[in-house]
Amino acid sequence: MNIIDFHLQNFRNYDKEVVTFIPGINTLIGNNGQGKTNIIEGIYYLLTGKSYRVKREHELLKWDKTDFHLYGDFIVKHHKIFLESHYQNNKKRVKVNQVPCQRLSDFVGTINVVFFSPDDLIMVKGGPSERRRFIDLHIAQIRPGYVSLLNAYNKVIQQKNALLKTYNDKSLKNSQLQLWNAQIIELGTKIILQRDELTKQIQKVADQIYMNLTSQKEKLDISYYALGKKNIQDALLEFPDLLNQKMDQEIERQMVLIGPHRDDLQILLDDKPARLYASQGQQRSLVLSLKLGELELIRQEKGEYPLLLLDDVLSELDSFRRNYLIEFIESSHIQTIITMTSAESQLGSGALFQVEQGHIRRER
């Protein structure tokens, strides 16, 4: 999967700019605040429908503008695909080959992308939501229907939360809650099974990569915990009873306490929780292993590697990890877009672009 050209209009600090990429490594250099990360963010937004930096689209607008437009040409299995996203009047419109998409699931996964930045270390030290997000974004790219499934589940959770905040008669509220619980079980079971399947797949790939990064000295183990249990089948069997047991507590606290929206990944290094014991270097190796594992799984699923976006990652890695990553990219022929603050660490091959005050100029 390759991006050929990318157009930005009224996005972040860009008035109107276009950049043409090569199939190999593309390096964007420039001082901080010039717009390097904005290019990466724009590509990611176009492919996933979401920003990894903000939740509200209006924050992506160039100052004093009311709309932004992103579009570009891509290659997937020798076929050209044109994607565009237009935000105007608080509404987002997305098209694939000029055909409007009604739902997010209609275009997510059309072009696959893996994004990696130093902020991804929060996957290890952060809360469960960060690890769930990693799993869900990956599944959404290879299973388009997963987006609709997540949206349906989240809507049920919102409706149940709203009911829990009302002051209806308790017996009446209980009967209504049972109706929502039935949907939580139906939709939640599908989410749990897909997350567990993905976790097992990425465990196999990421563990081998991690062992290579640590010279076979440490073992990585990743497990999905559903409803607080490692055994997924036991968790699903107990799902209805757990919801019933928590009902009084949910009414008291006015929030849904049981379901895949509260699940987590357990990441162990040599049988110790990485969240508690991993050093900064181990965290970097761990996240790098997960990202490279994600690349491999998408290749296995789609038959080719996705686009790789690296935002100021190389400066955060030591020479061994940096060389391992670059060798992996070059040997696998993955189209990669990398941001750096200076040309001192620039790669010896590929295209080099200078980014300055919202303008992009190719240097090599």
- Going by the annotation, the residues of the binding site for ATP are 30-37
Binding residues, as ranges, are: 30-37
Q: How many beta carbons lie within 10 A of that of residue 267, not counting itself? A: 23
SS3 of residue 45 by DSSP = helix
Q: How far apart are the first and last CA of the chain?
A: 22
SS3 of residue 99 by DSSP = strand
Instruction: Give 48's contacts (C-beta < 8 A, 6+ positions apart).
Output: 108, 113, 137, 140, 141
Alpha helices in the chain (DSSP H): 36-48, 122-125, 128-142, 145-164, 170-213, 232-245, 247-253, 274-277, 280-302, 319-332
d(CA 171, CA 112): 48
Which residue, 58, 203, 48, is CA-closest to 133?
A: 48
Cβ proximity of 52 and 1 under 8 Å: no
Alpha helices in 18-144 (DSSP H): 36-48, 122-125, 128-142
Cα-Cα-Cα-Cα dihedral of 199, 201, 207, 210, to 10°? -90
Query: What's the chain's length in residues?
Result: 364
Instruction: Give 154's contacts (C-beta < 8 A, 6+ positions apart).
Output: 261
Token couple for 191? 């989410």
